[in-house]
Structure 1
Amino acid sequence: MNLARHSISSTNPIHILDTHFDPDCKIFTASTPEGFAVYRTWPLKLLRKHELTGGTLAAAFPLHTTNLLFLLGGGRSPLYPPNKVIVWDDALGKEVAELEFRERVRGLTCRRGWLAVALRRRVVVFQVGERLKRHAEWDTCDNPRGLLAIATAPFSTLLAIAGRQTGHVQLIHLPPCPPPVTNGPPSSSPPRRPPPPPTKHPVSIIVAHTTALTTLTLPPSGRLLATTSSRGTLVRIWDSYTGKLVRELRRGTDKAEIYGVAFRPDEQELCVWSDKGTVHIFTLVVSGASYVRLWGDIYAILIISRNRQSTFSPLTPFLPLPKYFESEWSYAQYRIPVQSSHISLSSASRSSTVDLPDEERCVVGWIDVSNEDKTTPTRAPEHQLIALTYTGGWYRLSLPPAKKSSSFTGASTLAGSSPPRPVPLVRQRTSSASSTISRLDKGKEKERDKKEKHTTNCVLEEYRKFGRWDGWG
């Protein structure tokens, strides 16, 4: 039974203006023309909702699982001016503060004690306490998307914003994020201590891309940084401390608009989603290495990873192959079903004044489902994905199981043979190499088709449809 190809009822399409996870993916907000609501991510449950009259919202950002939210007005009839950020106390059910700027707010991000607001060419940071206090501001290049990201784990400090030049990233270190305050009895385990201060000054600028940035993403710890550009083909992973490129992952070969990147909380995997309607999953863990015989007594080291790679990747240290053959491709993916074919014609023609939602647009976050089994509290974490679409779909996806090492029998067999002689890791262009490259270029399409055939799909574990104002059901 293929759950991914379920049928969708012919009801009026739901228009979700915006949806956001909190930094820990424990809750999320959904803004609709009627107001906004807060949900528990999993198990899915409506926590509270607020109907708003007189206008609509562009977004509602939760501050972890506290009662504070940051609201932005938007849509055809904005409830608030686009140059204001409204601080909403959900316990009181009213506005408690507002921030006003001289221009439109492009984006924002928050963590315990801090709020960062992105404008067109600058980022302003505020300290959130009993009062909002302006901390500092930094200039950026033209940033119409309002890109910025902040590390949210206890004692993390990193804020990533657009640099002053196109494709650059500025790394700013704020005061450490305090640990969350628990309401219950004190824990028996000793409190976490902040990490020791770095011995070297971390980098402040990363030259990430030559074209405009489209996403900036940090894991909770802030140790890594993921960036994508307007080309939409590559995801680059950087060490935020040294500024070195750690990995380069390929979403595809055709241009796309990448909507977002999300790190798994333990930083072992990440997912990427775009306007192609597909969620790609990559691993960041290298499981091992083996010697592979190329020809004669010439060997190369094959790095074993769950990510898919070209069969010609072992040749890259020796031949000037196109970058395509060095790329790491996602080991699993999931395509969001398109719902337009199931929507009734009457609902599509009911009003030309309503903004139709983008069917491919979604937001994806990671959850830990290992706590489902209460009888085994020491069970290892099991991570799954939650995908929220702007047409009202809630998808819970499980990852395909890891393949056994027997899939690399060729590599393991060669690794057990006689010690290979060392080979230089210098590429030398020769006439034979040029002819080899021409043959490889001709086989590029076959290589791409082979990858698509061997792609592993995520498993749809649960699906909910936003069918009415009071939420998914």
Structure 2
Amino acid sequence: MSSTISTTQGSNTAMRLGLLESSHAMPTAVPFGQAESSSRDVDDTELLSISWNQDYGCFAAGTSHGFLIYKCDPFKETFRRDLKNGGFIMVEMLFRSNILALVGSGANPQYPSNKVMIWDDHQNRCIGEFAFRSDIRGVRLRRDRIVVVLEHRVYVYSFTDLQLLHQIETLANPKGLCCLSHHPNTSVLACPGLHRGQVRVEHFGLKVTKFINAHDSSVSCLTLTMDGLLLATASTKGTLIRIFNTMDGSRLQEVRRGVDRAEIYSIALSPNAQWLAVSSDKGTVHIFSLRVRVIGDDAFNRHPPSQGPAMVHQNSSNSIDALVSPNTGANPSSSLSFMKGVLPKYFSSEWSFAQFHVPEVTRFLTAFGSQNTILIVGMDGRFLLVFPFSFTLLFSLLARQVFFLMHISRCSLVSLEGVISGDEIDLDVWKAELDRPKNSLGRSQSTSGSDRFYRCSFDPINGGEMLQQEYVRFLKADTRR
């Protein structure tokens, strides 16, 4: 798949967090302006995309008429840019600088869905373009790289001169799965491999490629820690989240979101690699306590940049251990975990440590805020009514046609023949809730709308239901202040 690159003359653009230079001369897109608060009806604006910046302190909202940038703490609208016609289906920030990557919705021929624009909001102009023959599936930025994701290929460009550095072939990737490390001393990229359930990890600084067979099913979501040492993945079944060491590909931990199929919307790892958060179409944001940690969290600070990423990786990878921090609680497990040597792996599963309930039909993305807080942003919502459940089902298995049945209070007896396949449970056969920890309960709620921002806090010792600290309908509310 060929691409066309163009840059503007003199785009030696000053950024708050970096410098973008180019050497070619070709005028590109015309600028678009800033809308006044009364110039457009909010009800006429459709929310097309949501994306966090690299440190999760801001997020960008692509709309049918342009884009908006919001700061999370304190929550406020930073700025907005409107188009007369058309909007953006992708808006990728570069930390909190004036540089963004934009992909149009296709409604306006000037902003097609097969072109990435590098936008300098300070100069109010496009300073570079990447045009392809097919639609863009994803865009990722770091201070020295621009990554463009197509259906079957990932392109990696230099941010200084926009030259192509790497081409990576992938399995069909309609969701544009790809993630980057953002520590200045490491350069790690993770994307789907060429086989189902496989993740390809590129350590560019070390010139090392690692293939991780993460799941039996196709990978549906993945994320890296800031240093790129840990990788978290979920499959299309959406029941298990797995954490891997990207240096040797070893699986470090596995946690269970639930037992029924789910579409995983997002996975987030806390900056200290102590917590993992997951959002899905089941209406609950889960937090898990991680038993893996890089010993000596200041490893990167001890090694100056001149020593290069190889030194940092070598020291850090040898320091990854499985442990439970004495300052945090542990994930609850099944009441039958003591029989894990006899029963399937489900009985020894680790369940979520803390939970927050959101509208099921809204696509929520989650991230970690300041200490012991979670940020949740949603889109694509409509009216919802969720009925509560107050029962727990007991299940059993000994062999193919012999069932091991037990009874616990408030539970029914259920036969699980054909339910368990490998390490994950397929509820196309069995449609019910299984034995779950008591601190993860359903509840009813009736809500509508899509532009939702939540800030929640969780108890790092006891877990349980998170507390809502802030709630904003960010497209409807006047958050500019």
TM over 0.5: yes
Matches of residues 96-115 of structure 1 in structure 2 within 5 Å? 96-115=127-146
Of residues 265, 271, 293, the one that matches 1:259 is 265
- Superposition deviation, residue 72 in structure 1: 0.7
- Superposition deviation, residue 76 in structure 1: 5.1
Q: Contact conserved, 2:78 with 2:480, CA < 8 A, in 1? A: no
- Residue in 2 that maps onto 1:161: 191
- Superposition deviation, residue 469 in structure 1: 8.0
Of residues 284, 301, 311, the one that matches 2:335 is 311
Aligned length, in residue pairs? 352
- Cα-Cα RMSD: 3.2
Determine whether 1:67 maps to 2:98: yes
Relative to 1, partners in 2 of residues 1:337 and 1:122: Cα closer, same or farther, differing over 3 Å? Answer: closer
Relative to 1, partners in 2 of residues 1:251 and 1:466: Cα closer, same or farther, differing over 3 Å? Answer: same
- Residue in 2 that maps onto 1:148: 178
1:387-429 Cα deviation digits (max 9, x unpaired)? 1111699xxxxxxxxxxxxxxxxxxxxxxxxxxxxxxxxxxxx
- Residue in 1 that maps onto 2:375: 386
- The separation in 1 between residues aligned to 2:221 and 2:136, in whole angstroms, is 17
In the alignment, structure 2 segments of 5+ residues that lack a partner are 1-41, 294-322, 383-397, 417-432, 443-462
- The separation in 2 between residues aligned to 1:50 and 1:311, in whole angstroms, is 53
Of residues 317, 328, 345, the one that matches 2:350 is 328
Amino acid at match of 2:97: T
Of residues 6, 17, 22, the one that matches 2:48 is 17
- The separation in 2 between residues aligned to 1:163 and 1:328, in whole angstroms, is 27
Relative to 1, partners in 2 of residues 1:163 and 1:18: Cα closer, same or farther, differing over 3 Å? Answer: same
- Residue in 2 that maps onto 1:128: 159
Relative to 1, partners in 2 of residues 1:286 and 1:168: Cα closer, same or farther, differing over 3 Å? Answer: closer
Q: Contact conserved, 1:392 with 1:465, CA < 8 A, in 2? A: no
Amino acid at match of 2:471: Y
Determine whether 1:82 maps to 2:82: no
Determine helix, strand or coil for the equivalent of 1:448: coil
Of residues 460, 464, 468, the one that matches 2:468 is 460
Determine helix, strand or coil for the equivalent of 2:73: coil
- Residue in 1 that maps onto 2:289: 283
- Residue in 1 that maps onto 2:31: none
Relative to 1, partners in 2 of residues 1:226 and 1:467: Cα closer, same or farther, differing over 3 Å? Answer: closer
Amino acid at match of 1:238: F
Relative to 1, partners in 2 of residues 1:225 and 1:468: Cα closer, same or farther, differing over 3 Å? Answer: same
Q: Contact conserved, 1:113 with 1:128, CA < 8 A, in 2? A: yes
- The separation in 2 between residues aligned to 1:117 and 1:101, in whole angstroms, is 10
- Superposition deviation, residue 314 in structure 1: 2.5
Relative to 1, partners in 2 of residues 1:446 and 1:276: Cα closer, same or farther, differing over 3 Å? Answer: closer
- The separation in 2 between residues aligned to 1:263 and 1:446, in whole angstroms, is 27
Determine whether 1:30 maps to 2:61: yes
- Superposition deviation, residue 449 in structure 1: 7.3
1:145-197 Cα deviation digits (max 9, x unpaired)? 1111111122122100110111111111124xxxxxxxxxxxxxxxxxxxxx8
1:342-372 Cα deviation digits (max 9, x unpaired)? xxxxxxxxxxxxxxxxx4211211112xxxx
- The separation in 2 between residues aligned to 1:306 and 1:230, in whole angstroms, is 26
Higher gyration radius (CA)? 1
- Superposition deviation, residue 249 in structure 1: 0.8
Q: Contact conserved, 1:334 with 1:458, CA < 8 A, in 2? A: yes
Relative to 1, partners in 2 of residues 1:469 and 1:93: Cα closer, same or farther, differing over 3 Å? Answer: farther
Q: Contact conserved, 1:55 with 1:79, CA < 8 A, in 2? A: no
Of residues 364, 367, 390, the one that matches 1:365 is 367
- The separation in 2 between residues aligned to 1:75 and 1:334, in whole angstroms, is 36
Higher relative contact order (CA 8 A, sep 6+): 1
- The separation in 1 between residues aligned to 2:110 and 2:381, in whole angstroms, is 22
- Residue in 2 that maps onto 1:241: 247
- The separation in 2 between residues aligned to 1:78 and 1:261, in whole angstroms, is 34
Determine helix, strand or coil for the equivalent of 1:309: coil
Q: Contact conserved, 1:141 with 1:166, CA < 8 A, in 2? A: yes
Amino acid at match of 1:366: F
Determine whether 1:172 maps to 2:202: yes
Q: Contact conserved, 1:15 with 1:390, CA < 8 A, in 2? A: no
In the alignment, structure 1 segments of 5+ residues that lack a partner are 1-10, 176-196, 288-301, 339-358, 369-381, 394-430
- Superposition deviation, residue 466 in structure 1: 2.3
Determine whether 1:138 maps to 2:168: yes
1:8-30 Cα deviation digits (max 9, x unpaired)? xxx95963211111110122111
Q: Contact conserved, 1:169 with 1:205, CA < 8 A, in 2? A: yes
Q: Contact conserved, 1:72 with 1:80, CA < 8 A, in 2? A: yes
Q: Contact conserved, 1:224 with 1:238, CA < 8 A, in 2? A: yes
- The separation in 2 between residues aligned to 1:237 and 1:30, in whole angstroms, is 29
- Superposition deviation, residue 208 in structure 1: 0.7
Relative to 1, partners in 2 of residues 1:453 and 1:137: Cα closer, same or farther, differing over 3 Å? Answer: closer
Determine helix, strand or coil for the equivalent of 1:135: strand
- The separation in 2 between residues aligned to 1:59 and 1:435, in whole angstroms, is 52
Determine helix, strand or coil for the equivalent of 1:325: helix
Determine helix, strand or coil for the equivalent of 1:137: strand
Q: Contact conserved, 1:276 with 1:360, CA < 8 A, in 2? A: no
Relative to 1, partners in 2 of residues 1:70 and 1:20: Cα closer, same or farther, differing over 3 Å? Answer: same
- The separation in 2 between residues aligned to 1:446 and 1:172, in whole angstroms, is 38
Q: Which moved more, 1:257-266 or 1:457-466?
A: 457-466
Relative to 1, partners in 2 of residues 1:307 and 1:387: Cα closer, same or farther, differing over 3 Å? Answer: same
- Give the fraction of aligned pairs with identical amino acids, expressed as a percent: 34
Amino acid at match of 1:246: L
- Superposition deviation, residue 223 in structure 1: 1.1
Determine helix, strand or coil for the equivalent of 1:69: strand
Q: Contact conserved, 2:63 with 2:87, CA < 8 A, in 1? A: yes
- Superposition deviation, residue 202 in structure 1: 6.1
Matches of residues 400-439 of structure 1 in structure 2 within 5 Å? 437-439=404-406
Of residues 226, 232, 240, the one that matches 2:238 is 232
